[in-house]
Amino acid sequence: MDRLRDVPCVVVSQSSSLCCRPCCFQPSINFTIRSNATNVETNDARHIADSHGFGDAWIHEEATLFGRSITHCCPGARQTRYVVHSGPIPNALLVDDNTCCNCVVQDGLTSPEFQSLDPNQIGNVEFYHEKLYTNGINCGFGDKRCPCCCFLPYLETMDPNGRKIGASQYICDACLLVPKVDVFDEYDRHTYRVRPDTCVGGLCVQCRCGGEKGRCCRIPWKIRDPITHEPVQSSHESTGEDAQVTSLWTGLKRACQKKNAYFLNFPEDASSNLRATLTGTALLIDMSFSEDDN
Task: Return the minimum-mean-pLDDT range out of 48-57, 114-123, 148-157.
Answer: 48-57
Strand partners, 199: 204
| Span of 14-28, 61-75, 196-210, 267-281 with lowest mean pLDDT | 196-210
Residue 124: other Cβ atoms inside 10 A: 11
Tell me the C-alpha to C-alpha distance, in Å, between residue 59 and each of 99, 123, 158, 230.
17, 11, 14, 31
What tens digit of pLDDT does each residue of 181-199 get? 999 999 999 999 999 998 8
Per-residue CA distances from 127 to 112, 158, 173, 206 (Å): 23, 6, 30, 33
pLDDT higher than threshold 50 for residue 233 = yes
Q: Does residue 7 surpass a pLDDT of 60?
A: yes
- The candidate with the shortest Cα–Cα distance to 272, out of 201, 194, 186, is 186
pLDDT at residue 55 in the model: 54
Q: Is residue 180 a contact partner of residue 193, using CB atoms and an 8 Å limit?
A: yes
Q: pLDDT band for position 224 (50/70/90)? A: very high
Mean pLDDT value of segment 243-254: 82
Q: CA-to-CA distance for 42 and 252, rounded, in angstroms?
A: 10
Looking at residue 53, what is its pLDDT?
Answer: 41
Report the pLDDT value the prediction gives residue 49, as an integer from 0 to 100: 46
pLDDT value of residue 50: 47
Residue 216: predicted pLDDT: 62
Q: Model's pTM, two decimal places? A: 0.91
The arithmetic mean of pLDDT across residues 102-125, rounded, is 89
Mean pLDDT, range 263-281, rounded to an integer:
95
| β-sheet bridge partners, residue 81 | 62, 130
Query: Can you spell out the DSSP letters for 132-191?
Result: -----SEEEETTEEEE--SS--EEEEE-TTS-EEEEEEEE--S-TTS-EEEEEETT--EE
Mapping DSSP to helix (H, G, I), strand (E, B) and coil, where does residue 238 land?
Answer: helix
The per-residue pLDDT of the chain, averaged, comes to: 86
Q: What is the pLDDT of residue 188?
A: 97
- Rounded to an integer, what distance in angstroms lies between the CA atom of residue 57 and that of residue 87? 6
pLDDT tens column, 45-97: 544 444 444 457 999 999 999 999 999 899 999 999 999 999 888 888 888 87
